[in-house]
C-alpha cells in the first residue's frame, strides 16, 4: 500500500489556490452585474434584430419610387394639354384649372400645357391677356414667337404682331422677358405700366405703356397714335374677314391717330378719307382697296 504524503505543514498547492481565487472572482462579477444591470444595458444596448425580408423589400420599393419621383420632377413632363382659339371678330374669356384667367383677342389661338412644376402657354397667333394666379413654386411661362415670358402672379398681354415680332405689356406685377434661345439673364424685367417689343432681330425695346391703351382691345377699341397706315391696316384686318389692300405703297407711311370701334370696321374705313388723303374702293367679294387721293 502506498501512503500519500501528508499536506499538513506544506505550502498550499498553486492549482487549488487558483481555483478558489477564480471562483471568488466569478462570484464578485456576478454580484456586480446584478447590481448594475440597467446601467450596462444603456451603455451596451442589444443590437436590433434583422428586419424581415418583406420589410426590406418595402423599403427598397419606397426608395425606388422616390428616385422615379425625383426624376419626373427634374424632367417636368406635361400631364394635361388644352387649346383655345377665337374666330375673326370674336373675343373669349376662359378660366384655367389653376385659377388663372385667359382672355383671347380676335383671330387668336393658344396651347396650354400643365407640367409637374411649371405652367406653359404657347401663343400660336394673335393676342392674349393673362391674369395669373400666384404659385411661387410653379411659374407661368409663355412662348410667343421670339419672346419668352416668365411670371409668378400678375396681369399682362402678349401679342404676336407678326410671326417674328412679339410685344409684352404689363398691367400688374412684374414679368421677365427674353429672346427664345438665349439665357433669361440677357432679357429685361418689366414692371406695371411698361411694354417690351421683340423684333425679329436685336434686343427687347422697353417703353412706357399709355394708360388709355390698357385693356383697349378687351373693351372693343382700336387706338392709334401717330401709327403708320400700313400698321393700322394690319390691326384693322384682324377684325375683318375680308381683305384690306393698300394698292399705293406711298400711303403706307401716312400716320393715323384716333380711337375706333373694332366691332364696326366698315365705319372706320369709311372715315379714313376724312382723316387722310386716301380713297377707299370696294372690291368684289367684300374686300377694300386703299389708294392715294
CATH number of residue 89's parent domain: 2.60.120.1440
| Residue that is last in its domain, among 145, 180, 206 | 206
Residues of the domain holding 285? 219-290
Q: Is position 48 within any domain?
A: no
Residues 257 and 195 in one domain: no
Strands 165-172 and 194-198, by their bridges, are antiparallel
φ, ψ (nearest 5 deg) of residue 189: -110, 120
Same domain, 194 and 104: yes
Q: Exposed, middle or buried: residue 45 (CB in 10 Å: 0-12, 13-18, 19+)? A: exposed
User: Can you give the pLDDT at residue 151?
Assistant: 93
Give the per-residue SS3 of the chain: CCCCCCCCCCCCCHHHHHHHHHHHHHHHHHHHHHHCHHHHHHHCCCCCCCCCHHHHHHHHHHHHHHHHHHHHHHHCCEEEEEEEECCCCCCEEEECCCCCEEEECCCCEEEEEEECCCEEEEEEEEEEEEECCCCCCCCEEEEECCEEEEECCCEEEEEEEECCEEEEEEEECEEEEEECCCCHHHCEEEECCEEEEECCCCCCEEEECCHHHCCCCCCCEEEEEEEEHHHHHHHHHCCCCCCEEECCHHHHHCEEEEEEECCCHHHHHHHHHHHCCEEEEECHHHCEEEEEC
Mean pLDDT score across all residues of the chain: 81
> What pLDDT, on a 0 to 100 scale, did the predictor assign at position 67?
58
| pTM exceeds cut of 0.85 | no
For position 55, what pLDDT does the model report?
A: 56
Residue 10 domain-assigned (yes or no): no
213 within some domain: no
| Total domains present in the chain | 2
pLDDT in tens, 119-147: 999 999 999 999 999 987 889 999 999 99
Answer yes or no: are the C-beta atoms of 154 and 175 closer than 8 Å: yes
Q: pLDDT (tens digit, 9 = 90+) per residue, 12-53?
A: 444 444 444 444 444 444 444 455 445 444 444 444 444 555
CATH number for the domain spanning 271: value is 3.55.50.30
Q: How far is 50 from 186, CA to CA, in rounded Å?
A: 57
Question: Region 249-264: what's the mean pLDDT?
Answer: 94
Amino acid at each position: 500500500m502506498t501512503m500519500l504524503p501528508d499536506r499538513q505543514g506544506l505550502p498550499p498547492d498553486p492549482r487549488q489556490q487558483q481555483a478558489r481565487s477564480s471562483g471568488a472572482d466569478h462570484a464578485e462579477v456576478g454580484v456586480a452585474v446584478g447590481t448594475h444591470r440597467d446601467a450596462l444595458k444603456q451603455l451596451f444596448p442589444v443590437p436590433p434584430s434583422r428586419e424581415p425580408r418583406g420589410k426590406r423589400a418595402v423599403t427598397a420599393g419606397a426608395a425606388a419610387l422616390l428616385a422615379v419621383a425625383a426624376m419626373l420632377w427634374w424632367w417636368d413632363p406635361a400631364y394635361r394639354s388644352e387649346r383655345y382659339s377665337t374666330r375673326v371678330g370674336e373675343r373669349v374669356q376662359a378660366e384655367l384649372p389653376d385659377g388663372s384667367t385667359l382672355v383671347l383677342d380676335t383671330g387668336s389661338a393658344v396651347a396650354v400645357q400643365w407640367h409637374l412644376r411649371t405652367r406653359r402657354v404657347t401663343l400660336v397667333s394673335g393676342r392674349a391677356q393673362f391674369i395669373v394666379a400666384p404659385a411661387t413654386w410653379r411659374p407661368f411661362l409663355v412662348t410667343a414667337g421670339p419672346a419668352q415670358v416668365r411670371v409668378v402672379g400678375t396681369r399682362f398681354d402678349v401679342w404676336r404682331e407678326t410671326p417674328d415680332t412679339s410685344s409684352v405689356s404689363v398691367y400688374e406685377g412684374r414679368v421677365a422677358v427674353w429672346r427664345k434661345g438665349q439665357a433669361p439673364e440677357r432679357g429685361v424685367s418689366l414692371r406695371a405700366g411698361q411694354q417690351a417689343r421683340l423684333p425679329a432681330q436685336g434686343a427687347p425695346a422697353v417703353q412706357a405703356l399709355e394708360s388709355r391703351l390698357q385693356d383697349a382691345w378687351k373693351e372693343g377699341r382700336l387706338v392709334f397714335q401717330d401709327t403708320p397706315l400700313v400698321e393700322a391696316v394690319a390691326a384693322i384686318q384682324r377684325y375683318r374677314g375680308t381683305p384690306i389692300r393698300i394698292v399705293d405703297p406711298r400711303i403706307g407711311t401716312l400716320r393715323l391717330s384716333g380711337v375706333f370701334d373694332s366691332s364696326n370696321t366698315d365705319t372706320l374705313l369709311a372715315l379714313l378719307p376724312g382723316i387722310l388723303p386716301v380713297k377707299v374702293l370696294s372690291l368684289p367679294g367684300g374686300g377694300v382697296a386703299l389708294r392715294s387721293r
